[in-house]
Each structure stands twice: as C-alpha cells, then as structure tokens.
Amino acid sequence: MLNENAVEPGFVIGYDRRFLSDKAAEWFASVLAANGITVSFIDKYVPTPIVMFKAKEMNTHYSACITASHNPADYNGVKVFIRGGRDADEVITAKIEQQISQLQPSDVKTIDFEDAVAQGKIVVINPMNEFVDSIIDFIDIEAIKKANLRVLIDPMFGVAKNACKRC
C-alpha cells in the first residue's frame, strides 16, 4: 500500500544494534513519511549490506542505515546509499549536509510512526530470507559440503548475530 503522493520508488531504512539506532531509524522514517516519501522499514536490526541489497532490489534513489558501521558506537550516525545500493560519495554527502544545515527545527515535519504504518506511508519489511537466498544463488553449496570445512564465526554481539543460527 503506497501513498499516492509518495516519491517512488521510496526509501529503505535499516538500523543496527547500537544504542537508540532503532529509535533514530523510526524518527527518520516518520520524517520521510510526513513529507510524502513511502518508507520500507526493516523490522529489526540488520547488517548494512542487507539495507544495500534491498535498496538495490527496489531501485530506490536513496536509502539509509542508522549505524556506526565498523567504528565505535560513539560514532553512530546515518549511512546514506544511492541508486544501486551504493554508498553515497563525498559530493552527495556534502549536499545533504548543506541542505540539513539550512533547516530550523520548525521546518521538520513528522508523523507518529505507528500512524504512518497504519496509513501505508511506512511499510514494515523483513528482507533477511531474500538476502540469504540471493547469496545462496551465487555459491556452490554442494562443493562447500564436500570440502568438509569447519568454520568459526564470532559476530561479537554485532548485527550479524541474528543471521547466525547457533550464535
């Protein structure tokens, strides 16, 4: 269900496990929704590549993940992606920062997150299975099984934790 005034193909937003990332992502989605942009909101913390995957799949102009990425949690912020699910370069980032710097708090329109979901302005999604399936499509599972490998993974309490069955 898409808002008829929405800028299509919309915007994907994801977030990681860091403190308040989920709340920041909800606020970001609420601002976009209040401004006529339909948001596909990933329903739980995910690794950044999942946001990029979904943005590419949906052919969005822009998308974002609330994350500190590989940096310490103190550096939590917004990682912006452009068409194709690619990282925004410094030129695009500077333009976004310049536009934000001109805003006053009173310029920022928002809508209650749950109201926006009920109105179809924010669509809650979970692309985890699609993402995993897309990876499986690229690898030779049988060759890996025959290789008799032993693999160790330590997600270090990171966002990949929800992708690991035994972690």
Active site residue 30: no
What is the DSSP annotation of 40-55?
Answer: EEESS---HHHHHHHH
Q: How far apart are CA 136 and CA 17, in angstroms?
A: 25
Count the Cβ atoms, other than its own, within 10 Å of residue 16.
23
- Selected catalytic residue, list 21, 30, 63, 69: 69
Residues 34 and 146: their CA atoms lie apart, in Å, by 53
Q: Judge contact between 125 and 58, C-beta under 8 A.
A: no
User: Would you name the residues annotated as active-site residues?
Assistant: 69
